[in-house]
Amino acid sequence: MFKLYGKSSIQSLNLTSIRLNSTKIPPKLPITPNKYNAKSSGFNLKPILPNGLYYHPSPSSLNCEITPKGFLPDLDPRKSSPLYYPETYKQEIINYMPIISKARTPINYSMDAESISELQNLRSKGVSRRELREKFNVSDFFINISTKPSDLTTIKENKKLKKASKRWSLGTRRAKEYKEKLHTLYEKDI
């Protein structure tokens, strides 16, 4: 449970004997200090451990004296005891707590063919997605999968792509062309 970092075995014996005679609690090391970002590079552990004796608890339940509710039988009085589980909330308090996130309603993707053809006609005329979303009560994702963008929009997007492609390096241009070739081969099923 107590781990010693960065010292030789003789020094560790010395420190252990000092530790046994002292009353000071060693500092807690809740996480292993890492060379890299702990969140994005959790898989790549390169520990930078400080010298000294630290309390480094194992990742387990918060308190070893409390049995989790899931392991208690239904008739056990500890299961409903506020003294045994001090972290449980009272219903009166929960009613006054702010809502963390609004309840999501299931998205309805069932539309008849007439509605989809009307949706396609309106989108090809250049009606904005926001107006379509409000009129048909569907998501942007559903508008994308059920319709094609208008010709005007595709022309604008192609112009933007041509402008961006002028700034590409030779390697990027070759990679994009190769990707297009692979896509055509995929479409031809070769």
Share of the chain above pLDDT 90, in %: 22
Interatomic CA distance for residues 172 and 115, integer angstroms:
42
Domains in the chain: boundaries: 2-55, 112-148, 151-190
Residue-wise pLDDT tens digits, 56-105: 766 665 666 777 777 888 888 888 776 676 555 667 777 777 777 766 66
Q: Transcribe 25-76 into DSSP letters.
A: PPPB--S--BSS-TTTTTTS--B-PPSEEEE---S--S-TTSPPGGGS-TT-
Q: Given CA atoms 100, 102, 105, 109 in this order, what sign does their dihedral have?
A: negative
Share of the chain above pLDDT 70, in %: 73
Which range is least confidently modeled, 6-15, 47-56, 106-115, 150-159?
Answer: 6-15
Interatomic CA distance for residues 91 and 96, integer angstroms:
9
Using 50, 70 and 90 to split pLDDT, how confident is the model at 162? very high
Closest CA to 49 of 19, 100, 83, 4: 4
